[in-house]
Amino acid sequence: MIFKNANSTMLNVAETPGLYGAVKIEESLIQKIWEEQSFDTSDMSTLCGKEIILIDRGEWNRGEEGPDFRNAQLRIGGKRCAGDIEIHFRPSDWERHGHCRNPNFNRVILHVCLFAERNEQSFSVLENGNKVPVLHFLPCLTQGVEEYAEELALRQLSGRESGYFSSEELSRLKEADVYALAKQRWDGKLNFAKLRINKTGWEAACHQWFLEVLGYRRNRAPMTQIALEFPLASWQDSSLRIEDVFRSEKDWKLRGCRPLNHPLNRLKQYHRLCLKNPDWVSGLKEFSVCPIEDPVAATRASLGLGDCRKNWQNHILKNIFGGNRANTLWVDACLPLYCVLHGVNAFALWYHWPVGDCPQSFRSIANDVGWIGRGRQHPFSNGMVQAIKAHMLASNFEERRALVEPKNSCD
- Specify the DSSP class assigned to residue 104: G
d(CA 315, CA 324): 17
- Sign, CA dihedral 208-214-218-219, equals negative
Query: Which pLDDT value is given to residue 371?
Result: 84
243 CB contacts (<8 Å, ≥6 apart)? 264
Query: Per DSSP, which regions of 19-60 are E strands?
Result: 21-26, 44-45, 51-56, 59-60
| pLDDT by residue, tens only, the chain of 411 residues | 222 233 333 456 655 544 444 556 778 889 989 998 888 888 899 999 999 999 999 999 987 889 999 999 999 999 999 999 999 999 999 999 999 999 999 999 999 998 888 777 789 999 999 999 999 998 888 776 767 777 666 665 544 433 344 567 777 888 888 899 899 889 989 988 998 999 899 999 999 999 999 988 778 888 988 999 999 999 999 999 999 999 999 878 887 677 888 999 999 999 999 999 999 999 999 999 999 999 988 889 999 999 999 999 999 999 999 889 999 999 999 999 999 999 999 999 999 999 998 877 788 888 888 888 654 567 899 999 998 887 777 655 454 444 333 333 322
Domain ranges of the chain: 41-140, 145-393
Query: Which pLDDT value is given to residue 278?
Result: 97
Query: Which pLDDT value is given to residue 407?
Result: 32
Query: Which pLDDT value is given to residue 58?
Result: 96
- CA end-to-end distance (rounded Å), the chain: 5
d(CA 402, CA 379): 35
69-81 b/e with 16+ CB inside 10 Å = b? Answer: beebebebeeeeb
d(CA 371, CA 67): 47
Query: Which pLDDT value is given to residue 314?
Result: 96
Q: Are strands 69-76 and 108-113 parallel, antiparallel or unpaired?
A: unpaired
Query: Which pLDDT value is given to residue 264?
Result: 95
Phi, psi of 137 (to 5 degrees): -85, -30
d(CA 222, CA 43): 15
